[in-house]
Structure 1
């Protein structure tokens, strides 16, 4: 049986820390490191790892996010490993597909379905807000654009308006051009 460690750069995961944890399990473990964050290159590396392993071999990772960027991608990769008879061992939390694989798959399937439902619900909420012409995204405006326009019409300078209202001059300029069509460059 071959035991292969897999470390991948993701979010704040330090590759050296991942390698240290894998070596703590087995000092002689061979570790494949994927430093790319581009999904195509990462996909190619994972494919090469799957091809290098045979039925009965073990792929060891530190945590589940090493396998992919989404629950769906992680779940698909675990299924592919299982179909080839490759055992997946996760160090944190300590789980393996050799013993409780169906529990792991069921839990990940539930999380994936929950994520998909939440995404669908968020999209529906955003679409409903847009239809009702409710502003979506961004933070609340500090100052009403009409106040800025009123002060400019009264003769105040843009710098003094920004200073008095405690906003940037850029905010003053944006308020003055809001609702106007943008000039195209080129």
Structure 2
């Protein structure tokens, strides 16, 4: 059986291109997720795919960086596949045979290049943020929590746990905003 795995890093990204490529490559079952690729152990769909595959199956993905972001994760995943008798194929980087020494060497080199590209991208992003801060145009990320909504719910008599559940945020955030509001109120009263 050919089993596919697709991943994008954030919920705003689309899996459609990867899913179509996996289907075109013959994947009979596809595991997909919208999750950061920083650690393989944090990705439920990947773990499900690794548990699902059986001897004689083939796991495929579109690009190596969709499977793993670090060489160590990549090698660990491939060792797990080899131990189960499962082959691995990467659609965009063909010719990788994880059962041979030369295939593992190629896999390691491609994984190292992918990790290097990721590091370079992060450095460019950091440099851009620093330049924007110096220019005074960096505003940071979009606010995800509305302090006014928290204060309004508190004024309606809801406790911090109820507020957190209702707004789908952490209780610590509720406590922090309520404490900041109380401190600001005390500062204005003086």
Q: Report the counterpart of residue 75 of structure 1 in structure 2.
A: 75
1:33-59 Cα offsets, whole Å, 9 max, x none, are: 111227477433322211111111111
| C-alpha spacing 1:23/1:51, structure 2 compared with 1 (3 Å) | same
Q: 1:19: Cα distance to partner?
A: 0.7
CA distance in 1, matches of 2:93, 2:50: 22
CA distance in 2, matches of 1:94, 1:111: 11
The structure whose Rg is larger is: 1
Report the TM-score, using the length of structure 2 for normalisation: 0.51
Q: Report the counterpart of residue 34 of structure 2 in structure 1.
A: 35
Map residues 8-157 of structure 1 onto 2, 5 A cutoff: 8-10=7-9, 14-26=14-26, 29-37=28-36, 39=39, 42-97=42-97, 101-110=100-109
Greater helix share, 1 or 2?
Answer: 2
CA distance in 2, matches of 1:33, 1:25: 15
1:99-128 Cα offsets, whole Å, 9 max, x none, are: x74223113445677979xx9xxxxxxxxx
Q: Across the two proteins, how many residue pairs are aligned to each other?
A: 124
CA distance in 1, matches of 2:102, 2:13: 26
The question of whether the paired residues in 2 share the 8 Å contact of 1:87 and 1:96 is answered with: no
The question of whether the paired residues in 1 share the 8 Å contact of 2:40 and 2:73 is answered with: no
